[in-house]
Structure 1
Amino acid sequence: MTMTVPTPVPGSESSGSTTTTERPAPATGSDMPRAVTVLVFLRDRGIFLLWGLLIVVFAFWASPYFFTIDNATLVANAAALTALFAAGVGLGIMTGVLDLSLPGTAAIASCVCGWLLTHGYPTWLGLAAGLACGVVVGVFNGLIALRGFNPIIVTIGTLSVLSGLAAVVAGGYTFPGLTQLEFMGTHRYLSFGTFSGIPAPVFIVAAVFVVGTVFLTRTRDGLRLMAVGGNAEAVRRAGIKSSRYTVLGFVISGLLASLGGLVTTAVVTEASPSASPAIIFSALTAVALAGVALTGGRGSLPRVLVGALILATISNGLTIRGIQPYWATVATGALLLGSLMFERVLQTSVSNRLMATANLSVHEKKG
């Protein structure tokens, strides 16, 4: 498809005469070559195909225990905690924020909630205080980052501070026996027949990802957050306060981290001041598998969820086969490297084919 653009003829400005040249218009979905369409599909939907392939492989390799409803709920429950933290990391990266303080935020939220519950305060107050910790941490990180400091260094420092504060709140110990949180941790819902039910964290994760996806793709603030992640300077020149959305990105990331800490507390019925670095490693792995661009401005929360499910699927399948857990770490690391290389190859192929198509269109028009 071409569009005609009037171009002045040199030397004829005084007579006002013009001639027309034809320039190739941007390719639309219908004009895009089939090969490019396939490559774009693989880039944007390949992670869903990968998860489906893993399910098929384990369904045969780990038969008959893997492909059952009860085992599916185990995979979903195992992926839930990773998914919550991955949502915080992924949404932060998409909006131009890389928050490495998530383990510390989870620890302080867990300990504050645990302290309140063990001292007789109502459950709703403990949960609200834990979530408020995430908001406060997010605002703190955001305001410091706006001063020009490197967000990675800032959040690493915050991680250290929060880990120490969590230990201070807990007095160096843990808060055990928090049965008040069973409704969002160990309790199961929608039970029928011999099926024991769906774990509560699965419902929490589903709600978070539905709300987060709608927010990012259907609301003005969500679209602006993504725009700030892609190019904060361009957004600022458009008259939008990009600093406000940078802080908002930190706040959402901190809020999701504190929610992850509270759900973890509910699952194990214990609040611990330990800020495990494995949390951030698993979350970053799920985000990288989802193809979220570390430069910001591009990504998808549903793909992040599938990334967490892939990690849980691999771990579950290997466990059923009796393979040592550390091989799951090896497998996910190799899968991560492979997915990064695959995405790079796909991205390069798409760019090259689009350029070749545009050049061919120009040459055909000139001929």
Structure 2
Amino acid sequence: MTTIPTDPQTVPTDDELPPTPTATPKLPRSVSALVFLRDQGVFVLWGVLIVVFAFVGSPYFFTVDNAMLVANAGAVTAIFAAGVGIGVMTGSLDLSLPGTAAVAGCVCGWLLTHGSPTWLSLLAGLACGLVIGLINGLIVLRGFNSIIVTIGAFSVLSGLAAIITSGNTFPGLTQLEFMGTRHYFAFGGFAGVPAPVLIVAAVYAIGFVFLTRTRDGLRVMAVGANPEAVRRAGINSGLYKVIGFVISGTLAALGGLVSTATVTQASPTASAGIIFDSLTAVSLTGIAMSGGRGSLPRVLVGSLILATIANGLLIRGVQPYWATVSTGVLLIGSLFFERAIQAGVANRLMSANLSVHQKKV
């Protein structure tokens, strides 16, 4: 510890004094509040919706059984939203996910109806998603726009699904009930948890650990934030962009298999509503569409928000199409909200920097 003499004749000058450690500058409170609202606002919104529907939907909404219904209704959307979210985080939006889901379900259904083992049929469906994601990623690496490429892939995959089934469906796929309609008891037998909910829990747990605790996951996020900086650091940015497409395709295939298992039939129909709901769930979380920022737990809550709204309106006897209207309003509103938050943060940071500069002058 340095002792500073008290004698006026021996007091050192400012240049002789030991350097004073500088504290890390803090963000202004207004900026911190806006950042918190951007990052955690989706949790606040979900909490508000639960409270509102708990009152207006009493006594049916706020029950364990209804909670399981909400979770099950949002499970498929959550799987697709994870694929969309990871794609967006890597800086590439994959719009071919519904087509991938249709092909995966139809391949699995075709194999099951031709006597293949259940495990092999499921692996084949997942492999379809992996291969489709790989092809999309490699094409995008050639310099093509990812949105145009994946829209074209969506069209191609929709046709392939119809070719596999000859335009029909594969009904009666009871072999998949264990991952679709079956319930498993948890919490000491207190509640029957639907199989899709358990699958979603596993997907998000693995995805969260991968993106936040592994080197490859962190690099996937870094590629979305600044691919040029990653490339200059000696990392193959193209590889990790392709990995993002592969993960998205595999999750889309999983979503298609879960959908097939839930209705116990494989259909070649590729619903564009899947990507619409998934984009809405992702947009609600404040994920930047330019990539590099995001959180899978927030994506999960975004999916649950859509399911909560649909469930609460149904309990109140409101026509189901109003849920579709509210989804569209949320999507547009989230875009305006994101822009307003970003503008607010930028303006307040500029004001704070200007004030500091004026004080120094």
The TM-score normalised by the length of structure 1 is 0.90
Matches within 5 A, 1:47-196: 47-190=42-185
The match for 1:9 is none
Structure-1 separation of matches of 2:153 and 2:35: 39
SS in 1 for 2:277: helix
Aligned partners of 2:209 and 2:190: how far apart in 1?
Answer: 31
Out of 331, 334, 354, the residue aligned to residue 329 of structure 2 is: 334
Structure 1 residue 56 displacement after superposition: 0.3
Q: 1:291 is paired with a residue of what secondary structure?
A: coil
Of residues 186-195 and 218-227 in structure 1, the stretch that sits farther from structure 2 once superposed is 186-195
Q: Alpha-carbon deviation of 1:297?
A: 0.6
Give the C-alpha shift of residue 26 in structure 1. 9.5
CA distance, structure 2, for counterparts of residue 278 and residue 310 of structure 1: 16
Deviation at 1:205, TM superposition (A): 0.4
- SS of 1:120's equivalent in the other structure is coil
Candidates 322, 347, 350, aligned match of 2:345: 350
SS in structure 2 of the partner of residue 270 of structure 1: coil
1:19-34 correspondence runs (5 A): 28=25, 31-34=26-29
Once residues 162 and 323 of structure 1 are traced to their aligned partners in structure 2, the CA distance between those partners, rounded to angstroms, is 36
CA distance in 1, matches of 2:159, 2:331: 32
Deviation at 1:32, TM superposition (A): 2.0
Counterpart of 1:309 in structure 2: which amino acid?
A: L
Q: Report deviation, 1:343.
A: 2.4
Tell me the distance in 1 between the aligned counterparts of 2:191 and 2:41. 33
* Unpaired segments ≥5 residues, structure 1: 1-17, 19-24
Shift of 1:33: 2.1
SS in 2 for 1:190: strand
Write the letter of the residue equivalent to 1:185. Answer: G
1:298 lines up with 2:293 in the alignment: yes
Partner AA of 1:174 in structure 2 = T
Q: CA deviation at 1:216?
A: 0.8
**1:102 and 1:254 in contact (8 A); partners too:** yes
Per-residue displacement from partner, 1:105-125 (whole Å, max 9, x unpaired)? 001100111111111111110
Distance 2:27 2:239 in 1: 38
Give 2:359's aligned residue: 364
Q: 1-side partners of 2:316 and 2:23: how far apart? A: 51
Q: Is the 8 A contact 1:188 1:196 kept in 2?
A: no
| Secondary structure at the counterpart of residue 197 of structure 1 | strand
Aligned to 1:219: 214
2:204 paired residue number: 209
Matched with 1:36 is 31
Q: Give the whole-Å Cα distance in 1 for the aligned partners of 2:335 and 2:95.
A: 21
Structure 1 stretches (4+) deviating beyond 3 angstroms?
Answer: 25-28, 191-196
Q: Which amino acid aligns with 1:332?
A: T
In structure 2, distance between residues paired with 1:259 and 1:92 = 15
Equivalent pairs: percent with the same residue?
71
Kindly indicate whether the alpha-carbon contact (under 8 Å) linking 1:54 and 1:313 is maintained by their aligned counterparts in 2. Answer: yes
8 Å Cα contact 2:280/2:330 also seen in 1: no
Tell me which of 262, 265, 272 is aligned to 1:267: 262
CA RMSD in angstroms comes to 1.8
Candidates 232, 238, 252, aligned match of 1:237: 232
Asked if 2 retains the 8 angstrom alpha-carbon contact of 1:70 and 1:195, the reply is: no
TM-score by length of 2: 0.91
